[in-house]
């Protein structure tokens, strides 16, 4: 499970060869996790606290090219 970034309230990662649609995983400090769809940044399933989700979505908005590149690399590699 490649960790893409460790933030103050969460960790963002992707699994190699994960299922579609393209998404990333967010794990909050309390261990809860959610899957967030690339592009729309909507929660596909799971839950994390608001602070962790806001931090993750803000980071994802600032790094869409990196997320897409990592998704493609991990899906095809």
Number of independent structural domains in the chain: 1
What's the distance, CA 48 to chain centroid? 12
Average pLDDT over residues 10-36: 97
Range of the domain at 53: 3-76
Residue-wise pLDDT for 33-55, tens only, equals 999 999 999 999 999 999 999 99
- Banded model confidence at residue 76, pLDDT cuts 50, 70, 90: confident
Residue 43 and residue 35 in contact, taking contact as beta carbons nearer than 8 Å: yes
Cβ atoms of 9 and 23 within 8 Å: the answer is no
């Amino acid at each position: 499970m490649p960790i893409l970034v460790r933030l103050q309230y969460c960790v963002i990662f992707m699994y190699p060869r994960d299922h579609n649609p393209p998404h990333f995983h967010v794990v909050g400090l309390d261990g809860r996790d959610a899957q967030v769809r690339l592009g729309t940044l909507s929660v596909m399933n799971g839950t994390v606290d608001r602070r962790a989700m806001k931090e993750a979505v803000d980071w994802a908005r600032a790094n869409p090219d990196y997320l897409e590149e990592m998704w493609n690399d991990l899906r095809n590699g």
